[in-house]
Amino acid sequence: MLGPVQVLSARGAVDPGPARQRCVLAALAVDAGRPVPVPALIDRVWDDRPPQRARHTLQVHLSRLRTVLAAADPAARIVRRCGGYTLDLAAGHSDMGTVQALVRQARHPGTGLAEQGATLDRALQLWQGTPLAGLPGQWVEQVRQHWLHLRLDLLIRWAAAHLATGRVDAVLAGSSAALIDFPLAEPLWAVRMRALVAAQRRAEALALYESARRRLATELGVDPGPELAALHHALLT
């Protein structure tokens, strides 16, 4: 799900079928363990343009997905429940579910910074590309954007935890890669500036600020926000 929609078996990745069928699987998997009403499934899969026999077509996709799941993981089942369908999965068998559990663990008040950083490491490693890659639709795009924003938030938290525990090199490497995916995210520019300062690379931090300022001006027509501006001011004084 955090990349192409796939079913994993002991023998490797299994293709769940054509795009619309993968969308049915995704529509169930984002709410794994909870029933998704049939009208909601149809809306998720076809937006406001369902086929004439949408319920029948949905049943065909569900039947084929049951066959795929039975061959890959007998514990994974699609069951009729409470007027809808539920994808039942064992704990740890969904990348989205695993990330959510790791995020709860990292945010727990008793979690120290070193453990928080290690936990977020594990969460971020589960991303394999763009969420729900290759699938069309308004609902898919909403889910995709939610998970992209979550990844950005986790990257910032991850970097803060590692900076606080002295893992400057990891933050420099991670922030460089993250800025390729989120080039307009000011908090990531700020994280990288802080890491460069911690590494005694003040001139590079100043140059990075200028790069961020130019990019924000060119692409968004705005000046750096308070966080970047304050970091820049601190470097000049």
User: Considering the domain 113-235 in this protein, what is its CATH number?
Assistant: 1.25.40.10
User: What residue ranges do the domains of the chain occupy?
Assistant: 7-88, 113-235
pLDDT tens per residue, range 18-48: 999 999 999 999 999 999 999 999 999 999 8
Give CA 106 to chain center in angstroms.
16
How far is the C-alpha of 177 from the C-alpha of 174, rounded, in Å? 5
pLDDT tens per residue, range 111-133: 999 999 999 999 999 999 999 99
pLDDT tens per residue, range 126-161: 999 999 999 999 999 999 999 999 999 999 999 999
Q: Domain 7-88 class?
A: mainly alpha
